[in-house]
């Protein structure tokens, strides 16, 4: 069974940091591209960052470039999203997703086939 399970969401103050985790099962991990998305209240889904597990190629949307880092720990079938200098506008449900195409750019967000349920991040003072 294909599963993606996120964790690490929390309530943090502006300027704080969090690291989200996405544990993947039911796939050959190195066949995958994993992306992180978020959906803020009243807004549409937003793709943030992606990583090709096989070669480590990464992509970031401008909205998070320089503040968020995507990485993988292949022996644990886990992808991380490290988030620094968090802002109130980063408040959202964050979730990871997977596809099996070699594509990480901003024209790839519609390729994702498998999604986790998400972990909630709230940035507030």
Residue 77 is predicted with a pLDDT of 97
Res. 1: pLDDT tops 80: no
Q: Read off the pLDDT of residues 95-118 as tens digits, 9 standing for 90 and up.
A: 999 999 889 888 999 999 999 999
What is the arithmetic mean of pLDDT over 89-93? 97
Question: Could you tell me which of 7, 62, 2 has the C-alpha nearest to residue 32?
Answer: 2
Contacts of residue 124, defined as CB under 8 A and 6 or more positions apart, other chains included, come to 11, 13, 14, 88, 91
SS (H, E, C) the chain: CCEEEEECCCEECCCCCEEEEEEEECCCHHHCEEEEEEECCCCCCEEEEEEECCCCCEEECCCCCCCEEEEEEHHHCEEEEEECCCCHHHCEEEEEEEECCCCCCCCCHHHCCEECCCEEEEECC
**For residues 102 and 84, which has the higher predicted lDDT (pLDDT)?**
84
Residue 117 is predicted with a pLDDT of 97
What is the arithmetic mean of pLDDT over 68-97? 97
Q: Read off the pLDDT of residues 2-48 as tens digits, 9 standing for 90 and up.
A: 899 999 999 999 999 999 999 999 989 999 999 999 999 899 999 99
């Amino acid at each position: 069974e294909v599963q993606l399970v996120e964790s690490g969401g929390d309530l943090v103050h502006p300027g704080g940091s969090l690291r989200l985790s996405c544990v993947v099962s039911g796939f050959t991990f190195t066949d995958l591209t994993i992306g992180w998305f978020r959906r803020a209240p009243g807004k549409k889904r937003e793709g943030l960052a992606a990583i090709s597990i096989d070669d480590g190629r990464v992509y970031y949307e401008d909205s998070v470039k320089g503040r968020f880092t995507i990485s993988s720990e292949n022996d644990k079938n886990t992808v991380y999203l490290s988030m620094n200098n968090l802002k109130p506008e980063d408040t959202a449900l964050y979730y990871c997703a997977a596809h099996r195409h070699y594509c990480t750019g901003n024209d790839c967000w519609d390729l994702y086939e498998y999604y986790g349920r998400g972990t909630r991040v709230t940035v507030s003072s």
